[in-house]
Amino acid sequence: DAGVTQSPTHLIKTRGQQVTLRCSPKSGHDTVSWYQQALGQGPQFIFQYYEEEERQRGNFPDRFSGHQFPNYSSELNVNALLLGDSALYLCASSAGPTGDEQYFGPGTRLTVT
């Protein structure tokens, strides 16, 4: 049973560029949440997708957007990258938007130069 997978593992981008990160949820899960984890801090909630819609959103600017596909996989898009966007981006899946514990992928390390 495959767990949560994310791609790519690492990514280096330049300020002002755009980036797309991808996530495939654990088998049987239909909800995907995205988190940003800066160095030395805990993950910060970006948003959650369920039934192909954004259901909840944290305190992140509109530069951060996402999408969920019919197969429940998800993308996180960040436009006009800033140096401060450098972080580990974690995807988590769960069975339902208020389901029990979330399962996390290994993350995508984004470096903005």
Partner 1 sequence: DQQVKQNSPSLSVQEGRISILNCDYTNSMFDYFLWYKKYPAEGPTFLISISSIKDKNEDGRFTVFLNKSAKHLSLHIVPSQPGDSAVYFCAASANSNYQLIWGAGTKLIIKP
Residue whose pair of structure tokens reads 């006009």 in the numeric block: 80
Tell me how many helices (H) and strands (E) the chain has: 0, 11
67 binds partner 1 (CB under 8 A): no
16 binds partner 1 (CB under 8 A): no
78 binds partner 1 (CB under 8 A): no
Structure tokens at 17: 């560029």
Rounded Cα distance between 109 and 88, Å, is: 4
53 binds partner 1 (CB under 8 A): no
Binding site for partner 1 (CB under 8 A): 4, 31, 33, 40-45, 48, 56, 58, 90, 92, 94, 97-107
